[in-house]
Amino acid sequence: MLTFRGETDVERGFRYFFNASGVQVDFMTRDVERDATRVRPILDEVLPTFKPDLIYTYGTPNTLAVAGPYDAPPTANFVRDIPVVFALVAAPVQTKIAPSFASSGRNVTGAVHVVPTDVQMRAMHTYKPFTKVGVIYSPNESNSVVIVKEMQTFCDANGMTLITQPLAMDGTRPTGAGVEQFVRDLRAKGVEWLYLPPDTFIATIFNRIAPVAIDVGLPTFGSTEFFLREGEGLVGLVSRYYSVGQLAASKAVEILVQGRPPKDVPIETLKRFALIINMSVAKKLGVFPPIAMLNYAEVLV
């Protein structure tokens, strides 16, 4: 199991599914400490001795570092002979992990956790109508770039304005340099919401983003459960991490127990999503949800 920022509810859900299914598994976990360039050295160390029957990957950077894009040349140094099951990948088609959800055409499958972008944008507008929205993202994370493009398409079609702010880069890696000022600048430009994309690096610096957003009165909309449960995001329409882990594990069981080739196991999202509202943040901002929304939202107090 290759994690990105330590163990999360995704991995706990993944393990639980095996236990609940009565499938005995020997897990070995390695964490890349938020740096996907560590993946190759870990594989070089682990694969010759542990000889896994399957590799679990968390997030787009880890998955691409293990399996590569589907159109990578045959000489590229990626894993091809071991099944790979991913979780927490936002856009597997656009990032070339798979040509379609129906089949990767290779030894890869997994679980997608992000609610369609247009659905999220409508949920945001239902909570508090807006004409201008901002987003901070890592320009090296292809899934985040895809989401930003989808946001732009939605805004263009609905007469809204999107203001984008890529993070500063140190070579090929994003940094958190100046992120607090980015939030203030977006607010000064009239942004009414700050959208939090499914960005693995943004998650690691959200503890620097959220306090500033609250201080300047900027509501935040989270694309993943992390921003609501482990940070001070205001609201989000999300897939529960634990359930995403279980969905990914169900695909691993199909491969390991039922003998199905990964290319024959479709990539899927959950069938049901959760609207989560962080009421303590709503109170700090003075931005409360419509009463009707409380009938179906999960409210954190």
CATH, residue 166: 3.40.50.2300
Q: Which pLDDT value is given to residue 218?
A: 99
143 band by pLDDT with thresholds 50, 70 and 90: confident
Domain range for 100 is 2-113+240-269
pLDDT digits (tens, 9 = 90+) for 192-248: 999 999 998 999 999 999 999 999 999 999 999 999 999 999 999 999 999 999 999
pLDDT band at 142 (very low <50, low <70, confident <90, very high): confident
- Specify whether 252 is located in the same domain as 232: no
- 174 and 89, same structural domain? no
C-alpha to C-alpha distances, 108 to 141, 195, 263, nearest whole angstrom: 20, 30, 6
The residues near 285 (Cβ < 8 Å, ≥ 6 apart) are 214, 217, 219, 234
pTM of the model: 0.86
Pair 32, 45 in one domain: yes
Taking phi over 0 as left and psi of -120 to 50 as alpha, with beta for the rest, 160 belongs to beta
Q: State how many domains the chain has.
A: 2
Residue 189 to residues 66, 97, 216, 283, 284, Cα–Cα distance (Å): 40, 36, 12, 24, 21
**Within this chain, do residues 85 and 229 fall inside the same structural domain, yes or no?**
no
Residues 227 and 203 in one domain: yes
Longest dimension (CA), the chain: 58
Residue 60 has pLDDT above 90, yes or no: yes
